[in-house]
């Protein structure tokens, strides 16, 4: 797959920013095993090169799939979802707007999946279970459909009250891991929760002062991100399996601090036997690379 490396390495600043956004948008489709079409990649190139706007990208993608006579074909439908949602993520991440509210979270889902899911932007009214291979087929216990709205509002209110001032980088990342794991576990939508949560998290991190994050993490390790959320919300005391944020903390440390933690999905399987040889170490601002030090500003990390 074209990952737009030439723009990121050699392009103008505006091209680099757009290429990183597109790479993130396309990479996030991996959480549901979706791959974009060559048409989407070429259309994205035109946007990166400022030949067409993001609005024109969406118009072209819509027209492309309207012309396909066999759009009911399951494979075409999945590619259509990957292309359209990628373009919509790119649009949202290009916008300099954000509101830390449940309404914003729900609106992101609506914008991503309108025309793809009938329930886009709607709170699910049924209970769900999802078989996870890292749990040997078991499922995380998600919030009951009777308590979704109240639980979502409660989590947002608690986060709004939280004070980041004075915390170490380790404490900030641990808290962010706890917040995003709880937000995802609500699973307020029938489908599309991980992609919605990832887009919301990126926007929220920008609000907190993380103006630049390592977008390669979401483009290359989106499935690891999802599986780390699964492990943060699953426990089976009878089997000796406990909830753990350690995988999510590794991901966020790489994302925000340019750490180089190994991110392998197999290590999250509940029966993985190899001991984790990488211990999580607090990284002080002074120990970061110059790039991360410029991006990390705890003074801004307050609601």
Confidence of residue 128 (pLDDT cuts 50, 70, 90): very high
Predicted pLDDT of residue 287: 46
Confidence of residue 132 (pLDDT cuts 50, 70, 90): very high
Residue 1: pLDDT over 50: no
Which runs of E-coded beta strand occur in the chain? none
What angle, rounded to 10 degrees, do the helices at 102-113 and 193-207 form?
130
Q: What is the pLDDT of residues 270-285, one digit of tens each?
A: 999 764 444 444 444 4
Predicted pLDDT of residue 69: 58
Report the length, in residues, of the chain: 303
Q: What is the pLDDT of residues 54-76, one digit of tens each?
A: 999 999 999 998 877 555 576 78
Q: Do 138 and 272 touch, CB atoms closer than 8 A?
A: no
Its sign, for the CA torsion 85, 87, 24, 213, is negative
pTM: 0.87
Average per-residue pLDDT in the chain? 88
Q: What is the pLDDT of residues 191-215, one digit of tens each?
A: 999 999 999 999 999 999 987 776 7
In what helix (H) or strand (E) does residue 93 lie, and over which residues does it extend? Answer: helix 74-94
- Non-local (6+) Cβ contacts of 38 within 8 A are none
Separation CA 193–CA 178 (nearest Å) = 17
Predicted pLDDT of residue 105: 98
Residues paired with residue 241 on neighbouring β-strands, in sequence order: 236
Predicted pLDDT of residue 70: 56
Which domains does the chain carry? 1-95 (no CATH), 123-303 (1.10.3290)
Residue 106 burial (C-beta neighbours within 10 Å; 0-12, 13-18, 19+): buried
Task: Say which range, 142-146, 246-250, 280-284, has the weakest mean pLDDT.
Answer: 280-284
Task: Say which range, 3-17, 97-111, 289-303, has the weakest mean pLDDT.
Answer: 289-303
Predicted pLDDT of residue 217: 86
Share of the chain above pLDDT 70, in %: 87
Q: What are phi and psi of 262, to 5 degrees?
A: -70, 130
Task: Say which range, 67-71, 102-106, 264-268, 274-278, has the weakest mean pLDDT.
Answer: 274-278
Separation CA 196–CA 218 (nearest Å) = 13
Q: Do 71 and 84 touch, CB atoms closer than 8 A?
A: no
Predicted pLDDT of residue 9: 79
Residue 226: pLDDT over 90: yes
Task: Say which range, 134-148, 192-206, 237-251, 276-290, has the weakest mean pLDDT.
Answer: 276-290
Mean local confidence (pLDDT), 130-149: 96
Predicted pLDDT of residue 286: 42
Closest among 13, 213, 202, 198 to 96, alpha carbons compared: 202
């Amino acid at each position: 797959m074209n990952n737009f490396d030439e723009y990121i390495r050699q392009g103008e600043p505006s091209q680099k920013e757009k290429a990183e956004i597109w790479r993130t948008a396309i990479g996030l489709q991996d959480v549901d095993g979706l791959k974009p079409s060559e048409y989407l990649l070429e259309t994205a190139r035109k946007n990166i090169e400022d030949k067409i706007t993001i609005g024109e990208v969406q118009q072209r993608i819509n027209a492309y799939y309207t012309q396909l006579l066999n759009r009911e074909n399951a494979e075409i439908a999945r590619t259509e979802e990957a292309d359209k949602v990628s373009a919509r993520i790119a649009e949202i991440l290009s916008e300099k707007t954000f509101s830390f509210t449940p309404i914003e979270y729900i609106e992101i889902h609506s914008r991503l999946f309108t025309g793809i899911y009938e329930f886009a932007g709607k709170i699910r009214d049924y209970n769900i279970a999802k078989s996870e291979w890292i749990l040997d087929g078991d499922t995380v216990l998600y919030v009951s459909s009777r308590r979704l709205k109240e639980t979502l509002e409660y989590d947002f209110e608690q986060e709004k009250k939280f004070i980041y001032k004075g915390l170490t980088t380790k404490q900030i990342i641990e808290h962010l891991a706890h917040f995003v794991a709880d937000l995802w576990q609500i699973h307020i939508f029938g489908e599309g929760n991980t992609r919605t949560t990832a887009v919301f998290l990126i926007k929220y991190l920008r609000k907190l002062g993380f103006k630049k994050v390592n977008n390669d993490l979401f483009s290359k390790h989106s499935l690891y991100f999802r599986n780390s959320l699964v492990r943060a919300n699953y426990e089976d005391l009878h089997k000796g399996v406990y909830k753990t944020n350690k995988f999510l903390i590794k991901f966020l440390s790489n994302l925000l601090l340019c750490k180089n933690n190994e991110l392998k999905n197999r290590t999250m399987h509940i029966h993985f036997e190899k001991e984790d040889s990488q211990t999580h170490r607090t990284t002080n601002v002074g120990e970061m690379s110059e790039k991360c030090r410029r991006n990390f500003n705890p003074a801004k990390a307050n609601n």
